[in-house]
Amino acid sequence: MSFTGVMRPGHAAIRVLDMDESVTYYTERMGLMKTDEDDQGRVYLKAWDELDCFSIVLREADSPGIDYTGYKTFSRADMDELVGKLEDYGIDIEWIAEGELNNCGERARFQTPSGHSFELYSEKKQIGDGLGRTNPNPWPEGLKGMQVYRFDHVLLYGPNIIETTKIFTDVLGFDLTERVLTPEGEMNVTFVSCSNKAHDLAFVEYPEPNKLHHVSFMLMTWEEVLRAADLMSMHDISIDIGPTRHGITRGRTIYFFDPSGNRNEVFCGDYTWYPDREPITWTAEELGRAIFYHDRRLNENFLTVVT
């Protein structure tokens, strides 16, 4: 088996202004399933095609945004090895006890120079997709709303993204898959992958630290993206842009907002990444096409609307 180390984005902890409204949105509209709630009032959700018992944790707070993003390693030994490498690199680790999030093992939390919190963990209870691992059906009946398959990635805004990206590529074994270069040749947008997806995480250089641009969920087809957009109009969900295509990752996408103003994305159809590929470079003049392939220009909202 050649797939070890960091496997995937395993959870995102999102702050919301109103829990009831948000749970309705993430379950009825997005199509996640509520799997748990803890004594702090945090709500745990998973997408149908995920086997682990949660991938999104909602916390009611007075400002929206993201608390942290967690990445699951293949094994505890892999996690310990990567934590050792982070410490050697000069990064402080805060250990979060097993069970602090229900049904999740010990987590190693660290901060990036962009101001964001990340975690590594290796254990989370698997509850399955309801289809089983023997002679399964292709999909479960009774799914709701947009019927997203999985939590896929986050795009984060903050300062020092070159240094931040280096932690993922030089220490944690991610590959740089795409980047945007300024006229001076500096990276100000980076996409990185820990798998053979086109991205598992992305950063945009921004003056304010610890900002969330979007939390993304995967669909399989363009028709499903269109259907998701229809549901947004049916339920008066705030649409940002799309359905359209990204130049970066080739993804077919729509951006929209949860009831607290956190941006979400559903997308399909990026390419398969292999580590023998050279990263794709976008130049500053073509940035419009890189972000929104059809509009071919940047909009203010992409650059300034964050939580």
Partner 1 sequence: MVAEKFTIAIEDSDEAFTCSSDRNVLKAMEQLGRKGIPVGCRGGGCGVCRVQVVGDGRYRTGKMSREQVPVDDERQGICLACKLFPEADLRLKVLGRWQKHFITGMNPEAA
Q: Is 186 in the active site?
A: no
- The minimum distance between CB 220 and partner 1, in angstroms, equals 27
Q: Residue 216 binds what, of partner 1, Fe ion, none (CB under 5 to 8 Å, by partner type)?
A: Fe ion
How are beta strands 150-158 and 187-193 bridged, if at all? Answer: unpaired
Q: Is 246 in the active site?
A: yes
User: Does 265 contact Fe ion by CB under 5 A?
Assistant: yes
Query: How are strands ordered across the β-sheet holding 280-283?
Result: 239-245, 252-257, 263-268, 211-218, 150-158, 201-205, 187-193, 175-181, 280-283
Binding site for partner 1 (CB under 8 A): 17-18, 62-65, 180-184, 186, 188, 204-207, 238, 240, 257-263, 284-285, 287-288, 297-301, 303-307
Q: Residue 273 binds what, of Fe ion, partner 1, none (CB under 5 to 8 Å, by partner type)?
A: none
Which is the catalytic residue, given 28, 255, 285, 294? 255
Q: Residue 298 binds what, of Fe ion, partner 1, none (CB under 5 to 8 Å, by partner type)?
A: partner 1
How are beta strands 94-96 and 65-73 bridged, if at all? Answer: unpaired
The closest of 236, 225, 307, 232 to 266, measured between CA atoms, is: 225
Q: Which is nearer to Fe ion, 111 or 216 (CB)?
A: 216
Q: Is 178 in the active site?
A: no
Side chain identity at residue 230, one-letter code: D
**Region at 215 (left for phi over 0; alpha for psi -120 to 50; beta for the rest):** beta
DSSP string covering 69-116, please? EEEEESSHHHHHHHHHHHHHTT---EEE-TTSSTTB--EEEEE-TTS-
Q: Residue 245 binds what, of partner 1, Fe ion, none (CB under 5 to 8 Å, by partner type)?
A: none
Which is the catalytic residue, given 214, 223, 286, 300? 214
For the window 209-228, what string marks contact with Fe ion as x by the rule CB under 5 A? -------x------------
Q: Which is nearer to Fe ion, 44 or 217 (CB)?
A: 217
CA torsion sign for 200, 204, 206, 212 is: negative
Q: Is 50 in the active site?
A: no
Query: CB count, 10 Å around CB of 60?
Result: 16
How many positions of this chain bind Fe ion (CB under 5 A)? 2
Q: Is 294 in the active site?
A: no
State the catalytic residues.
Answer: 153, 199, 214, 246, 255, 265
